[in-house]
């Protein structure tokens, strides 16, 4: 596969009232996405994912650097870039009082389609997202998963070569989520290049050819899942269900040899550890000595979440 997307020293400087900050604050963000791959971009909230996608799609003007997609520069040839890409935002970009067919027709018209070509493409997209039988129903009558599928359909109307999917499975039921993941796989099988962001590690693991992890506006890790796991070493995650554990207990857990870090959120303590199974008895002893109720224990062997926690010090949802 050859390079289809190139970010070259891409930067965005902000100057809000509480002080300046930047995406790509030093040398800028440099990244290549190969044609025909599913590339997942992961990062904690505020890491810069949305800013990067907004610059790639022409919604934000870079402070410095450039993005090239399909051989076209976003700073010099923005209209040519936009013809190459379909953008599916996290927030639904649909008109609730219009039907699915009307929404697709409207956006298809904005993309320059008309007449028989518009009607044919709308039928094709409705068939692909499996909503032809509900095409005349208003969006307001759809389930969350159905709305997400129409949202994807809008991004496909002009037959883009690349699709940007920003958390497309947020707040939907498991069956709808599976439908969308299968849709992404089928698009990729047909040759579509996909940029995917998600808060669900298992989605990135299932879908991605390669994964980039961003933190504080910089790409800090890049590669396949196997490469990322190998790159940070053999870390396990020990999950301890502890409602409101005292800080002294967390500090003692973090001080256990070969425990790299202790993280807390939502009634859970996560220990990033080498040889997690060997360290678990000592962790339980510390908890028992403190008189803290332990409601659950789980050990996860090295996976994407362990990589992410090790590199960023935060869970993906933090």
Average pLDDT over residues 116-128: 98
pLDDT of 278 strictly over 70: yes
H or E stretch covering 229: helix 225-232
pLDDT at site 19:
56
Token pair listed for 50: 């949305």
Tell me which residue range forms the domain holding 90. 3-228
Using pLDDT thresholds of 50, 70 and 90, give the confidence band for residue 305.
confident
Q: pLDDT for 128-187, tens place per residue?
A: 999 999 999 999 999 999 999 999 999 999 999 999 999 999 989 999 999 999 999 999
What domain count does the chain have? 2
Q: Is residue 247 included in any domain, yes or no?
A: yes
Range of weakest confidence among 13-17, 34-38, 87-91, 312-316: 312-316
Average pLDDT of the segment spanning 293-313? 87
Q: Predicted confidence band at 1 (pLDDT cuts at 50, 70, 90)?
A: confident
The answer on 251 and 207 residing in a single domain is: no
Residues 187 and 160: their CA atoms lie apart, in Å, by 11
Let me know the angle formed at the C-alpha of 7 by 223 and 228, rounded to the nearest 5 degrees. Answer: 10
Q: What is the mean pLDDT of residues 28-44?
A: 95
Nearest to 148 by CA among 91, 206, 86: 91
Predicted local distance difference test score (pLDDT) of residue 316? 60
23 vs 101, higher pLDDT = 101
Residue pLDDT, tens place only, 45-79 = 888 898 999 999 999 999 999 999 999 999 999 99
Domain with residue 281: its CATH number is 3.30.70.980
Is the CB of residue 206 less than 8 Å from the CB of residue 178? Answer: no
CATH number at residue 84: 3.40.50.300
pLDDT-based confidence at residue 21 (cuts at 50, 70, 90): low
Q: Domain for residue 52, yes or no?
A: yes
- pLDDT value, residue 141: 98
* Structural domain ending residue among the three candidates 189, 206, 228: 228
User: What was the pLDDT predicted at 169?
Assistant: 94
pLDDT(41) > 90: yes
In a shared domain, residues 243 and 193: no
Q: Which of 108, 115, 122 is nearest to 158 (CA)?
A: 108
Here the tokens at position 228 are 């990322």
Residues 165 and 147 occupy one common structural domain: yes
Shared domain check, 212 and 238: no
Domain assignment present for residue 245? The answer is yes
**Which of residues 193, 212, 228 is at a domain's end?**
228
Q: Is residue 176 part of a domain?
A: yes
d(CA 81, CA 289) in angstroms, rounded, equals: 61
C-beta separation of 294 from 241 below 8 A: yes
**Is 308 a domain residue?**
no
Cα 193–Cα 205–Cα 164 angle in degrees, nearest 5: 30
């Amino acid at each position: 596969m050859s390079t289809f997307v190139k970010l070259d020293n891409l930067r965005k400087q902000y100057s809000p009232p509480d002080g300046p900050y930047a995406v790509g604050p030093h040398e800028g963000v440099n990244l290549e996405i190969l044609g025909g791959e599913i590339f997942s971009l992961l990062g904690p909230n505020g890491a810069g994912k949305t800013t990067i996608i907004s610059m790639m799609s022409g919604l934000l003007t870079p402070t410095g650097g450039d993005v090239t997609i399909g051989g076209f520069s976003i700073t010099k040839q923005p209209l040519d870039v936009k013809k190459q890409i379909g953008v599916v935002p996290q927030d639904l970009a649909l008109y609730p009082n219009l039907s699915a067919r009307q929404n697709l027709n409207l956006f298809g018209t904005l993309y320059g389609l008309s007449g028989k070509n518009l009607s044919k493409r709308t039928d094709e997209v409705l068939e692909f997202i499996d909503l032809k039988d509900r095409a005349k129903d208003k969006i307001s009558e759809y389930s969350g998963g159905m709305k997400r599928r129409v949202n994807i359909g809008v991004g496909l109307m002009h037959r883009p070569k690349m699709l940007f999917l920003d958390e497309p499975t947020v707040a939907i039921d498991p069956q709808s989520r599976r439908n969308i993941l299968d849709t992404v796989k089928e698009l990729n099988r047909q040759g579509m290049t996909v940029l995917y962001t998600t808060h669900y590690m298992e989605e990135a693991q299932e879908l991605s050819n390669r994964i980039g992890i961003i933190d504080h506006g910089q790409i800090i890790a890049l590669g396949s899942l196997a490469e990322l796991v190998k790159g940070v070493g053999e870390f396990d995650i020990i999950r301890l269900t502890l409602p409101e554990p005292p800080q002294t207990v967390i500090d003692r857990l973090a001080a256990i040899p070969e425990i790299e870090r202790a993280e807390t959120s939502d009634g859970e303590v996560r220990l990033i550890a080498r040889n997690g199974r060997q360290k678990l008895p000592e962790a339980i002893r510390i908890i028992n000595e403190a008189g803290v109720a332990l409601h659950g224990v789980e050990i996860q062997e090295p996976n994407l979440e362990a990589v992410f926690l090790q590199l960023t010090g935060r869970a993906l949802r933090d």
